[in-house]
Amino acid sequence: MSGIKARILHNPRCSKSRQALEWLRSRGIEPEIILYLKTPLDAGQLNELLDQLDAPPQELLRSGDREFKSTGQDIRAMTREQIVAMLASQPRILQRPIVIIGEHARIARPAERIAELL
């Protein structure tokens, strides 16, 4: 599968993120690694990511995370714009890992979901 251009929004401290990276590498895919905590996505990039995921914007939030819970927000009532603004300012609550291949993306939990992109 070499020659496939992939990107991964990666947190090396997250076991699921490490598993997704290993899943790609075990198939001969060396992705561009985006350390989103060091280089947070801006609103434009987050909107593009939402379009690539083709999923409700709420899926991008780690709603069970303490940091999200401390906001007091009701995830069901949040608009896309509110979610994008929150993620742009608080990248720690971005769901991970996210793999992007071509014009499509998947939250790689479990890592096998990456196969949907191939």
* pLDDT tens per residue, range 30-62: 999 999 999 999 999 999 999 999 888 999 998
Q: Please say whether the structural domain 1-36+96-118 has been given the CATH code 3.90.950.20.
A: no
Percent above pLDDT 90 for the chain: 71
Record the tokens describing residue 70, joined without a space: 């401390």
pLDDT of 1 reads: 56
Q: How many CB atoms lie within 10 A of CB 48?
A: 15
Confidence of residue 68 (pLDDT cuts 50, 70, 90): confident
Cβ-based neighbours of 85, under 8 Å, separated by 6 or more: 43
Active site residue 109: no
Largest CA distance in the chain: 45
> What mean pLDDT value characterizes the chain?
91
As a whole number of angstroms, the distance between CA 71 and CA 49 comes to 23
**1, 9, 12, 14: which one is catalytic?**
14
Domain ranges of the chain: 1-36+96-118, 41-93
